[in-house]
Amino acid sequence: MPVTVVIGAQWGDEGKAKVIDLLAKDHSVVARYQGGHNAGHTVVVGTEKYALQLIPSGVFYGHVTPVIGNGVVVDLPTLFAEIDRLESRGISCTKLRVSSQAHLIFPWHQSHDAISEAIRGGDKIGTTLKGIGPAYADKARRTGIRAGEVLDPVRFAEVVRRVGKEQNALIAHLGGEQLDLDDVVTRFTKYAERLAPYVENTVDLLHDAVESGESVLLEGAQATFLDLDHGTYPYVTSSNPTAGGAVSGSGLGPRLIDRIVGITKAYTTRVGSGPFPTELTDDTGDRLVDIGREFGTVTGRRRRTGWVDCVMLRHAARVNSLTELALTKLDVLDDYDEIKVCVGYELDGRPLRGYPDRSEVLARVTPVYETIPGWKTVLGRCRSAADLPASARRFISVVEQQSGVPVRIVGVGPERDDVLMWDGGGR
Ligand code: GDP
Ligand code: IMO
Ligand code: MG
C-alpha cells in the first residue's frame, strides 16, 4: 500500500523530521498536511544541520517531490527565506509544489496572535506567535486568502487590501498597532508573483502519484496532544496533526493509508503552557534539557521535560490508529541510574481509566511509574537490537507493552545513521 503517515505522539519535537528523512529514501512524494511555520523540523545530513519550518523533510533527496498540502497555512516570507537558505546550500527546491487550497498567513494574523496572548495574560497558551491560530480561524470564518488566488495578481492585490482594511479595523478595536497596508500589498504582490509557479492542484498530484504506483509520505507537524480536538485544549495548536488531519489536509482518502508511524521520544518534552503529568522540575529534568539539547528550533524557548508517558502513547495509538512507534533520543538517557516509565494515572488516589478529556483533570492526575535500571552505556554506535544493552532492550519492551504499539525504529543520536531497526529484541 502506498501511503505512510508520520505523526508526533506527544507534544511535538519528537524527532519527526529525522524519521521522515529516513523513510523518504523509499518514497516519491513527501507532503506536509497541516500546521505552518510554527513547526521546526531538524534534519542532520553529515556535518550539515537543517532546520525546516515549511518545506517537507524529504527535500534532501533528488527523487522526492516535496508538497505543501491543502491543510497547511503558509507564511510566504518564511517560505521564500527557507527556499533561499536551502538553495544557497545546494539543496534544490524546484520540485516543490504548494496546494492552491492552502491558506496564506498575513501580518495581521501575527498581530492577532500577539494581541490574544497579551489579553490572556498569565493564562497565555505560549504560542509561537507565528499567526497560526488566527490564520486557521479566518479559514473557518471563510475569510481566508488561499494560495490559488495569486494566479490572478490584480484581484489578489484587491483582496489583500480589502481584507487588510477589515483586519486593521479589528486590530484598532483591540488596541493593537495598525499595519501599513500599502506596504503589505506591495510586499505580498511580489511574493504572489514568486509563488505562482509553485501553485498546483496537489490533491490531484497526490492521487496521480498513488495511482501510478508511487509511494507517498505524509509529514505531520506538531503532535497528537497539540491537536485542536484531541490535545490538551486550549493549550494546543489550531490544526489537526492526528491521522484524521492527514486525510483532510492532503485530500487522500483514509483507505489509501496503511502505515501510521507515531514518533515518541524516550522521555517527554513540551514547549508552551498546559498540563504535563510526568514533568520533572528538578535536576533530573534539567539534565534532560542539557543532554537532549531541549531548546525550541523555532523560538529558542527552553522545553519542559519529563519521563515518557505510556498513557499518552496508548491514547495516541487509539486516536491515530498507529501501526508502529519510532522511539527517538534513547541515547539521551545513557547516563541515568534509573529511568521511569509512566504506566498509569491516579486521580484522588484512584486509578484512572484512559486519557482525561479535560485539561483541568489532566492537571490533577498523579503518574504511576515503573522504574527500570539505567544502562549507563553509550548507545550512539548501536546499529541493531542485538547491540543494545539488556536494560535498554527492557525499556523498549516496556514502552511497547504499555503503549500497545510495536516499536520499529529506535533513534540513538541526531545524525541520519544514528538509528536502528527494532525487531522485538528477540521476543
Ligand atoms: P520534530 O519537530 O519532531 O521534527 O523534532 P525537532 O527537530 O524539533 O527536535 C528533535 C531534535 O532531536 C533535533 O535536534 C534532532 O536533530 C534531534 N534528534 C532526533 N532524533 C534523535 C536521536 O535519536 N538522538 C538524539 N540525541 N537526537 C535526536
Ligand atoms: P514541531 O512540528 C512543539 C506549541 C506552541 C504552543 C502551542 C500553540 O516542531 O513538533 P501555535 O503557534 O501553534 O499556535 O502554538 O503549540 N507548538 C509546538 N510545540 N513543536 C512544534 O512543532 C510546535 N508547534 C506549535 O509552543 O504551546
Ligand atoms: Mg520541532
Question: Could you tell me the pLDDT band of residue 427, with boundaries at 50, 70 and 90?
Answer: low
Domain final residue pick, 229, 259, 289:
259
Question: Could you tell me the pLDDT band of residue 209, with boundaries at 50, 70 and 90?
Answer: very high
Ligand 2 contact, 306 CB (< 6 A): no
**C-alpha 393 to ligand 1 mean position (Å):** 21
pLDDT at 353: 87
Q: What is the CATH number of the domain that holds 309?
A: 3.90.170.10
User: 378, 344 in Cβ contact below 8 A?
Assistant: no
Ligand 2 contact, 271 CB (< 6 A): yes
CA dihedral 226, 66, 61, 95 (to 10 degrees): -160
What's the CA gap between 217 and 18, in Å, rounded? 13
Does any domain span residue 184?
A: yes
Does any domain span residue 13?
A: yes
> What is the number of the ligand closest to the CA of 232?
2
Ligand 2 contact, 133 CB (< 6 A): yes
116 and 93 assigned to the same domain: no
363 and 375 assigned to the same domain: yes
Closest ligand 1 atom to the C-alpha of 296? 8
Does any domain span residue 11?
A: yes
Domains held by the chain: number: 3
377 and 289 assigned to the same domain: yes
337 and 212 assigned to the same domain: no
Closest ligand 1 atom to the C-alpha of 43? 16
Residue to probe by mutation, ligand 1, list 18, 327, 331, most atoms within 8 Å of CB? 18
What's the CA gap between 111 and 114, in Å, rounded? 5
What's the CA gap between 109 and 127, in Å, rounded? 13
E-strand ranges in 53-180 read 65-68, 73-75, 97-99, 103-105
**C-alpha 227 to ligand 2 mean position (Å):** 10
The pLDDT tens digits for 262-282 are 999 999 999 999 999 999 999
- Distances from the Cα of 417 to the Cαs of 246, 382, 414, in angstroms? 27, 10, 8
The pLDDT tens digits for 290-332 are 999 999 888 889 999 999 999 999 999 999 999 999 999 999 9
Q: Degrees (nearest 5) of the Cα angle 22, 39, 239?
A: 110
**C-alpha 54 to ligand 2 mean position (Å):** 13
User: 110, 169 in Cβ contact below 8 A?
Assistant: no
Q: Degrees (nearest 5) of the Cα angle 272, 105, 42?
A: 50
Ligand 2 contact, 222 CB (< 6 A): yes
Does any domain span residue 427?
A: no
Does any domain span residue 410?
A: yes
pLDDT at 426: 56
H/E segment holding residue 267: strand 267-270
187 and 331 assigned to the same domain: no
96 and 107 assigned to the same domain: no
Ligand 2 contact, 210 CB (< 6 A): no
- In this predicted structure, which of 63-67, 172-176, 295-299 has the lowest mean pLDDT? 295-299
- The pLDDT mean for the chain works out to 97
Does any domain span residue 371?
A: yes
271 and 371 assigned to the same domain: yes
Q: What percent of the chain has pLDDT over 90?
A: 96
235 and 284 assigned to the same domain: no
**C-alpha 186 to ligand 3 mean position (Å):** 32
> What is the number of the ligand closest to the CA of 16?
1
Ligand 1 contact, 413 CB (< 6 A): yes
The pLDDT tens digits for 234-247 are 999 999 999 999 99
**C-alpha 81 to ligand 2 mean position (Å):** 20
Ligand 2 contact, 389 CB (< 6 A): no
For residue 306, the enclosing domain spans 264-421
Domain final residue pick, 148, 170, 196:
196
Does any domain span residue 273?
A: yes
Mean pLDDT within 282-295: 96
149 and 119 assigned to the same domain: yes
> What is the number of the ligand closest to the CA of 51?
1
H/E segment holding residue 199: strand 199-200
The pLDDT tens digits for 5-45 are 999 999 999 999 999 999 999 999 999 999 999 999 999 99
Question: Could you tell me the pLDDT band of residue 195, with boundaries at 50, 70 and 90?
Answer: very high
Ligand 2 contact, 68 CB (< 6 A): no
The pLDDT tens digits for 325-367 are 999 999 999 999 999 999 999 999 999 989 999 999 999 999 9
Mean pLDDT within 80-109: 98
Catalytic residue, candidates 21, 27, 37, 41: 41
Give the chain's length: 427
Q: What is the CATH number of the domain that holds 136?
A: 1.10.300.10
Ligand 2 contact, 43 CB (< 6 A): no
**C-alpha 149 to ligand 1 mean position (Å):** 36
Domain final residue pick, 196, 215, 235:
196
The pLDDT tens digits for 119-160 are 999 999 999 999 999 999 999 999 999 999 999 999 999 999
What's the CA gap between 408 and 325, in Å, rounded? 6
Closest ligand 1 atom to the C-alpha of 328? 23
Does any domain span residue 426?
A: no
Q: What is the CATH number of the domain that holds 247?
A: 3.40.440.10
What do you get for the CA distance between the two ends of the chain, in Å?
Answer: 27
* Global pTM value: 0.97
Is residue 13 flagged as an active site residue?
Answer: yes
49 and 124 assigned to the same domain: no
**C-alpha 169 to ligand 3 mean position (Å):** 34
369 and 303 assigned to the same domain: yes
Residue to probe by mutation, ligand 1, list 43, 50, 291, 329, most atoms within 8 Å of CB? 329
> What is the number of the ligand closest to the CA of 222?
2
pLDDT at 423: 86
189 and 206 assigned to the same domain: no
Residues 6+ apart with CB under 8 A from 300: none
pLDDT at residue 1 is higher than 90: no
Residues 6+ apart with CB under 8 A from 370: 340, 341, 343, 398, 402
Could you tell me the three cell numbers for 179?
499595519
pLDDT at 78: 98
DSSP assignments along 361-377, one per residue: HHTT-EEEEEEEE---S
If we measure between CA atoms, which residue out of 377, 386, 303 comes closest to residue 336? Answer: 377
Beta strands 48-52 and 41-45, pairing class: antiparallel
Residues 6+ apart with CB under 8 A from 368: 342, 343, 344, 345, 346, 351
- Distances from the Cα of 313 to the Cαs of 92, 395, 402, in angstroms? 36, 15, 8
Place of cell 542532520: 44
Beta strands 338-347 and 304-309, pairing class: parallel
Q: Is the dihedral of CA 326, 327, 328, 331 positive or negative?
A: negative
- Distances from the Cα of 336 to the Cαs of 202, 206, 255, 279, 418, in angstroms? 47, 45, 43, 16, 20
- Distances from the Cα of 93 to the Cαs of 36, 152, 192, 198, in angstroms? 17, 24, 17, 10
